[in-house]
Structure 1
């Protein structure tokens, strides 16, 4: 355990150095420095933070668990995230950044309100901002809590301490550097983390196929259960064989509509090379897509695991040298922390910036006061999430991630994606958020459809509601303005 603690302390020191540098680079007298990194992120940092956040803990813990349970279908499903992220970067990122810049938006709720409301202090604008912010807070708190539980589960065995203490320790580290440097610190540390994640993925693939060649792996899996190699359905993604291909659509909406993903696009610098950004995203995403192979490998080596999510911990403890396992465990913790810090930052800004402006006050504050407030809410949100781990129900990590992020994705699909082609009304935005969230959460909790089908149906319901309500209930200010112009 001593060497594990030394590795962790060295990594912590580097993360704190990066956060300290980010805090100095970030303009101390501008809130946008904390919220959107002063819109200064370049191609490799954008690619690194997007991929690290997108693949995260579920990619290294939940996805191998799903592969252990369901077989090769998880490899195909997991692979679709890489091309989806590339498409999001190439075709959505610049649009979102430029439009947000024109409207002066520094957060996703602020972008949605500015897009739909002429009077940003009106009751309808405040209502829209409250609903958007609260939806983010509720569902992302569930996701963050699941990430904290995963950190504790892996960190405890690695450090030789209790899961509770491991969760608390790692969460404190995340909170410190997020408070210090805001989104810039999050993006820089993510980029450092994703390099280690990619190195770990390459090592895992080489080790697995050196031990069991691909053809032998398929033969042995088929002997255990033919459905692991040639599944009759796309479970857990859906009952039809073709349902797994819906993961690409899911991953595309995931990469564009989820606030903790899309806020990175607001932070891009103005002269960024989108081609380079897409190229880096493709390379990193494809490498990390290979990690679920661990689940198949462990299914052969130890087919009796009670909890599928233990596939990766078993692999690290039994299949590779202890020192290598320690380093890879650190990189997996990095993967979890990359998502946790992103969610923590997004949650805190939803509370400190958007919810505050919508409910609590609009009084003038200095930029230094706003920065202190933002940092304070990082600590508050972290504490709430940690306490929530005591109440989180037992479930597979992949399911918890899809339920929380997928439902939020469905809620925001209409107001973020449909608006690329059609700008609707404030009432339509409110209705589409509610319909998308209710539809997706109902379908996922009842289990009547697959994991990706629920959020996708919710996304479709959100989009349809947005258009229909916009036609039936247009913005009154817009209608009056158009009548005045025609007169």
Structure 2
């Protein structure tokens, strides 16, 4: 092991210790045996931490590995698409978070599936809504979590010079530990530390690129390879027309506002949090991280024959960064991937231990101490399950698998979460909308030859129509508060 490998391992263990320590601190700050403290950080997130955890979760493995890979494969259109995430997240914080937060606080909702059940009336049918919402969340976010673990493992293996399995075990192991200890508080605090590192990495990357290449020569090289890289006549992976890339803006807004692992942060804000201040932080973090996909075009000009586009970022770090900076930036990129992985793991575990438990066994487990340990045990079980899924999954492109999971979940939840905040439908409307959105988007992503966003957005449209239509012809019931 050379000096740089020792440096990398040292960085890794120092940050592992910090993450676990933050998990320990957050566990001490939760109320004793309080499930709400584990699931929602005691509704204690302020502007800076709230912005940090939202952006860190949104800009993840796809942002640092998947998006540069898509840029390498399809060109500059991916950079434009990636840029829309920052304003979309800011709009979600400024104009939607307060609506969702107010209703969730009034009802005592601890998760998004529970919110969906309560706002549609609760009762026996509400339990079915909560159970279906939890089941869809678990299935689709496990798919997304699989892509995140693969992204972390690929980068960690190259960085530490170990095999993929060992890297995956190491990375998911520490995520399980601190998430199990502190719940959403641990996830949010570690995310905030991570997003600062991610922004530093973005700045270092752009400085290196702009100081190492002639822009005119770079443009000429890319145009000689394929004029579509810089001047697309189609939308490439987004659809037939270049204008299809603008669909990313509404998609990214709904991504931030509706998906359970993102929207649950709105439920965890302090009641008096300054959303305008949070919006400014989101804009700054997001703008910096939107620059990262430029790496794909840089590597395309320098190394045009990569067999796997998702290797664009690892190859960039290995070949074009000094070893010490390579190690530091790789650590920050691992932060990005882990920030989403821990959020997904926490949400999947919450859907299993809280929502499925209440849907199937509402009156069985009464001890708060026992319930808290069920929450923690679910983190371990589902973390191991996602690891096994990654190890035995067939080859896939990271960005595509991420959109399959999140896009289909978005299509399932747009009516019950987003539309219901402004116009309350019925429990039957919610059930039908979730099923229709799930199957429509899933089928189009897996079997139809359409752009990556066409399937999820078509699923959103069909699901929304079903939500409103079925609700108009079935009985709508006022929301119910959570049982004490």
TM-score normalised by structure 1 residue count: 0.96
Confirm whether residue 89 of structure 1 aligns to residue 93 of structure 2: yes
In the alignment, the residues of structure 2 paired with residue 446 and residue 468 of structure 1 have an alpha-carbon distance, to the nearest angstrom, of 27
Structure 1 residue 446, shift from structure 2 partner: 1.9
Question: Unpaired runs of 5+ in structure 1?
Answer: 479-487
2:36·2:42 contact (CA, 8 Å) conserved in 1? yes
1:65-464 matches, cutoff 5 A = 65-117=69-121, 120-122=122-124, 124-464=125-465
Structure 1 residue 282, shift from structure 2 partner: 0.2
State the 4+ residue runs in structure 1 displaced beyond 3 angstroms: 213-216
Structure 1 residue 361, shift from structure 2 partner: 4.3
In the alignment, the residues of structure 2 paired with residue 378 and residue 348 of structure 1 have an alpha-carbon distance, to the nearest angstrom, of 5
Question: Unpaired runs of 5+ in structure 2?
Answer: 479-484
In the alignment, the residues of structure 1 paired with residue 108 and residue 463 of structure 2 have an alpha-carbon distance, to the nearest angstrom, of 26
Q: SS of the counterpart of 1:27?
A: coil
Partner of 1:482: none
2:365·2:371 contact (CA, 8 Å) conserved in 1? no
Distance 1:8 1:299, change over 3 A: same
In the alignment, the residues of structure 2 paired with residue 130 and residue 219 of structure 1 have an alpha-carbon distance, to the nearest angstrom, of 55
In the alignment, the residues of structure 2 paired with residue 253 and residue 393 of structure 1 have an alpha-carbon distance, to the nearest angstrom, of 29
Structure 1 residue 268, shift from structure 2 partner: 0.1
Provide, for residues 327-349 of structure 1, a one-character-per-residue CA deviation record: whole Å limited to 9, x for no partner. Answer: 11111111110000000000000
In the alignment, the residues of structure 1 paired with residue 308 and residue 140 of structure 2 have an alpha-carbon distance, to the nearest angstrom, of 25
Structure 1 residue 360, shift from structure 2 partner: 3.2
Q: SS of the counterpart of 2:310?
A: helix
TM-score normalised by structure 2 residue count: 0.96
Confirm whether residue 49 of structure 1 aligns to residue 50 of structure 2: no
Distance 1:364 1:395, change over 3 A: closer
In the alignment, the residues of structure 2 paired with residue 44 and residue 218 of structure 1 have an alpha-carbon distance, to the nearest angstrom, of 38
In the alignment, the residues of structure 2 paired with residue 350 and residue 34 of structure 1 have an alpha-carbon distance, to the nearest angstrom, of 13
In the alignment, the residues of structure 1 paired with residue 448 and residue 226 of structure 2 have an alpha-carbon distance, to the nearest angstrom, of 24
In the alignment, the residues of structure 2 paired with residue 456 and residue 347 of structure 1 have an alpha-carbon distance, to the nearest angstrom, of 23
Q: SS of the counterpart of 1:448?
A: coil
Structure 1 residue 130, shift from structure 2 partner: 1.3
2:165·2:391 contact (CA, 8 Å) conserved in 1? no
Partner of 1:38: 42
Distance 1:422 1:308, change over 3 A: same
In the alignment, the residues of structure 2 paired with residue 157 and residue 202 of structure 1 have an alpha-carbon distance, to the nearest angstrom, of 22
Q: SS of the counterpart of 2:187?
A: helix
Structure 1 residue 234, shift from structure 2 partner: 1.0
In the alignment, the residues of structure 1 paired with residue 217 and residue 291 of structure 2 have an alpha-carbon distance, to the nearest angstrom, of 18
In the alignment, the residues of structure 2 paired with residue 342 and residue 213 of structure 1 have an alpha-carbon distance, to the nearest angstrom, of 40
Structure 1 residue 420, shift from structure 2 partner: 2.6
Partner of 1:468: 469
Provide, for residues 4-38 of structure 1, a one-character-per-residue CA deviation record: whole Å limited to 9, x for no partner. Answer: 11010011111112111111111123111000000
Q: Decide which moves more: 430-439 or 465-474.
A: 465-474
Structure 1 residue 218, shift from structure 2 partner: 2.1
Partner of 1:481: none
Q: SS of the counterpart of 2:237?
A: coil
Structure 1 residue 208, shift from structure 2 partner: 0.5
In the alignment, the residues of structure 2 paired with residue 317 and residue 390 of structure 1 have an alpha-carbon distance, to the nearest angstrom, of 24
In the alignment, the residues of structure 1 paired with residue 84 and residue 138 of structure 2 have an alpha-carbon distance, to the nearest angstrom, of 27
In the alignment, the residues of structure 2 paired with residue 27 and residue 221 of structure 1 have an alpha-carbon distance, to the nearest angstrom, of 57
Q: Decide which moves more: 454-463 or 208-217.
A: 208-217
In the alignment, the residues of structure 1 paired with residue 22 and residue 217 of structure 2 have an alpha-carbon distance, to the nearest angstrom, of 44
In the alignment, the residues of structure 1 paired with residue 362 and residue 107 of structure 2 have an alpha-carbon distance, to the nearest angstrom, of 21
Partner of 2:482: none
Structure 1 residue 369, shift from structure 2 partner: 1.6
